Amino acid sequence: MSEVVISVRELTKRFGDFTAVDSISFDVHRGEIFGFLGANGAGKTTAMRMLCGLSFPTSGSGTVAGYDVMHQGEEIKRHIGYMSQRFSLYNDLTVWENINLFAGIYGLSKSETKERAAELLERLNFASERNTIVGSLPLGWKQKLSFAIATIHRPEVVFLDEPTGGVDPMTRRQFWELIYEAAEGGTTIFVTTHYMDEAEYCSRVSIMVDGQVRALDTPAKLKQQFAAQSMDEVFRTLARGAKRAE
Amino acid sequence: MRTFLVLFQKEFLQIRRNPFMPKLIIIFPIMIMLLMPLVMTMDVKNVNVAVVDLDRSTTSRRIASHIEASEYLTLATTTAEFPLAMQALEQGDVDVIVQIPDHFERDMISSTAKRISISANAVNATKGGMGMQYVVQTIARTLVELRGEKSPIEISELVTIENRYNPTLNYRHYMIPALMIILFILVCGFLPALSIVGEKEVGTIEQINVTPVSRLTFTLGKLSPYWLIGLFVLTVAMIVARLVYGLAPLGSVGLIYLGAALFILVISGFSLTIANFSETMQQSMFVMFFFIMLFMLMSGLLTPVDSMPLWAQHFTIILPPRYFIDILRSVYLKGTTLVDMWQNFAALGIFAIVFNTLATLTYKKQA
């Protein structure tokens, strides 16, 4: 097996008496596309926020890109990209201004920023939209831009929280092409989704139910294990057992 | 450094793109400085006086004509019937009634003379009280004048009155520094809080929190545009004060800017602290309003701290605008120098450090 980039052991997050994430453990390897599945409220986003240094774990341990999630949150942030569920670039800035802002925050020099922005706009076929206000772009374009900006500093891991929610099938396909490209370049992808066809694209998939990881393997092996035709069936078999309401 | 610059640039772009902000920043100070000094006045003018003249002598007529001539008093009516005047008072047409008893002129020199009676409507305590004083002064002057005509010594020459520092007792000159502070509180107090909480509501703050940007850099990038705007607003306000009201600082302009710079730090740090504790705009606005009421009404902007109850006077020690208003009024009206009021600057400095430390500490990137 190749190098481990994310390693999690018994990671737990409690809010009061509610255990959002209940002692999860797994490893993710370099260059993998790791699908992180689960019904709404299963604890995916909370788990992901802990890995990104946005939320302190209640107990357990974990490392991301070699840094401890408990104590080295800021170091982790230097080495990861994150794309949240909600579109969170600045709607009142142009495409270029958003790129420049985040490139600057990640410490890219002016010339590096220019170079990468040009390359990025080229790859997305966005060159003509360089000075468009982001708020006026269609959702699918915004999501692609979000992804491109989340990877502008060439992070080791990118966390994508339901990146294709509400996006049309064409754009979703294009989006996944971007993900593959990044993974081939050695970036590890950690992605949550509700689309089971997307789960099939992942190298490995974990399925969370009620805050716990109930299944973890390649899509092919999971289907075999649950004697299912598709990931959809696997997911429904597991999710049916959920006690936690949405 | 580049991180700070891109954040600063981003903040400025957002302010500029906002359909409302640039207009607010320019029109707001001009409007406040043009309008408010005209209406926020404690000078009592147009006090309506009814003279109930039972004496009908030269003296009583002289008193009435002096009242008429006064720039503060208006002779509303002269009558011989007290009930008529009382009725006018009740209806609010008259603020003060002066009753001159019969044979006042004749008995004036004797010790048994009946007295002139003055009744004032004190529902509006300021107007009643001040109006009464003006009337007393006017009558006294008339009597002094009358006596002066009979004896060679003019009593009025025996007393001289001089108002130091605000020689014309112009209430506007007292209010303008307060208005400048109110402008600061609104521009540098409200806007940064709104901007931070706005980012929380839209979700962009999370994208920032997941980057390695330090809390200090982010805070500085957020606040520094508002510091510049604050100083711009001050400059506009000072120009309007000079051109429209002829009020120029007697002391050094540099001192005003130094005080302003400190005060802006204080108020924006305060604003940021509140924003860090607020999840929604409404919440942050209500909390800000609470404190702004305290700042406006208790720190001596509108009413002198010395006239407050003792406990309130002690309480004002923790209100930052109290120190800045002292600086502004002293420099503007007295021309005070730094040596004489370094304590005020020191106090603002301490507040600036406390609030900004608090703002940085309460900003949590990881929860």
**Where exactly are the structural domains of chain A?**
1-79+156-246, 91-154
Tell which residue, A241, A197, A189, A240, has the closest CA to residue A219.
Answer: A197
Length reported for chain B: 367
Pairing relation of β-strands B117-120 and B96-100? antiparallel
CB B220 within 8 A of CB B269: no
Question: Between helices A139-150 and A95-105, what is the axis angle to 10°?
Answer: 20
What residues have CB less than 8 Å from B160, skipping those under 6 apart?
none
CB contact under 8 A, A104 and B367: no
Per 3-state DSSP, chain B is made up of helix, strand and coil in percentages (nearest 5) of 70, 5, 25
Helix and strand counts by DSSP (H, E) for chain A: 9, 10
- A160 DSSP β-pair partners: A83, A191
pLDDT in tens, B327-337: 999 998 888 88
B158 pLDDT tier (thresholds 50, 70, 90): very low
Q: List, for residues A181-222, the tens digit of each pLDDT value.
A: 999 989 999 999 888 888 999 999 999 988 899 999 999 999
**E strand or H helix at A36:** strand A33-38
Test A53 with B365 for CB contact under 8 angstroms.
yes
ipTM given for this complex? 0.88
Residue B253: CA count within 13 A, CB half-sphere: 9
- B150 close to A (CB below 8 A): no
Set out the domains of chain B in order of their start, with CATH numbers. Answer: 2-40+168-362 (no CATH), 47-158 (3.40.1710.10)
pLDDT value at residue A98: 94
On the question of pLDDT at B138 being above 90, the answer is no
Pairing of strands B96-100, B47-53: parallel
Which residue of chain B is at minimal alpha-carbon distance from A96?
B10
Residues 6+ apart with CB under 8 A from A47: A11, A13, A21, A24, A36, A208
Question: Does the pLDDT value for residue B161 go beyond 60?
Answer: no
Contact B2 A110 (CB under 8 A): yes
Name every chain B residue with its beta carbon within 8 A of the beta carbon of A93. Answer: 10, 13-14, 17
What contacts B263, CB < 8 A, 6 or more positions away? B181, B184, B320, B321, B324, B348
Chain A contacts of B207, Cβ < 8 Å?
82, 84, 88-89, 102
Confidence of residue B229 (pLDDT cuts 50, 70, 90): very high
The DSSP bridge pattern shows strands A33-38 and B73-79 to be unpaired
Give the closest of B5, B14, B203 to A104, CB-based: B5
Cβ <8 Å between B211 and A91:
no
Identify the three-state secondary structure at position B294.
helix
Lookup: tokens for B354 = 């406390």
Pairwise CA distance, residues B264 & B195, whole Å: 16
Backbone angles phi, psi at A114, to 5 degrees: -60, -45
pLDDT of residue B35: 87
Residue A80 sits at the vertex; the CA angle it makes with A79 and A84, to the nearest 5 degrees, is 160
Of A49, A163, A155, A181, the C-alpha closest to A103 is: A155
Buried (b) or exposed (e) across A181-195, using 16+ Cβ within 10 A?
Answer: ebbeeebbbbbbbeb
Mean pLDDT of A220-246: 84
C-beta atoms of A105 and B18 within 8 A: no
Residue B330 near residue B338, CB atoms below 8 Å: no
**Hey, are the CB atoms on A91 and B202 less than 8 Å from each other?**
yes
Does the domain at A1-79+156-246 match CATH 3.40.640.10? Answer given as: no
What number is the average pLDDT over the span A128-153?
92
A56-65 confidence digits (pLDDT tens): 999 999 999 9
Residue B156 confidence (pLDDT) above 50:
no
Label the pairing between strands A80-83 and A157-161.
parallel
CA distance B97 to B51: 6
User: Which chain A residue shows the shortest CA-CA distance from B16?
Assistant: A92
From residue B121, alpha-carbon distances to A146, B82, B115 in Å are 70, 15, 20
Distance CA B66, CA B130 (A): 17
Average pLDDT, chain B: 85
Whether residue B300 contacts residue B312, with contact meaning beta carbons closer than 8 Å, is answered with no
Do residue B10 and residue A106 have CB atoms under 8 angstroms apart? no
At residue B179, the 3 state secondary structure works out as: helix
B10: chain A residues, CB-CB within 8 Å? 90, 93, 97, 101
pLDDT at B162: 60
Predicted confidence (pLDDT) per residue in B314-350, tens digit: 999 999 999 999 999 999 888 888 888 899 999 999 9
B91 forms bridges with which residues in the sheet? none
Pick from A206, A219, A148: which is nearest to A179 by CA? A148
- pLDDT at position A168 over 70: yes
Mean pLDDT on B11-35? 89
pLDDT for position A125: 87
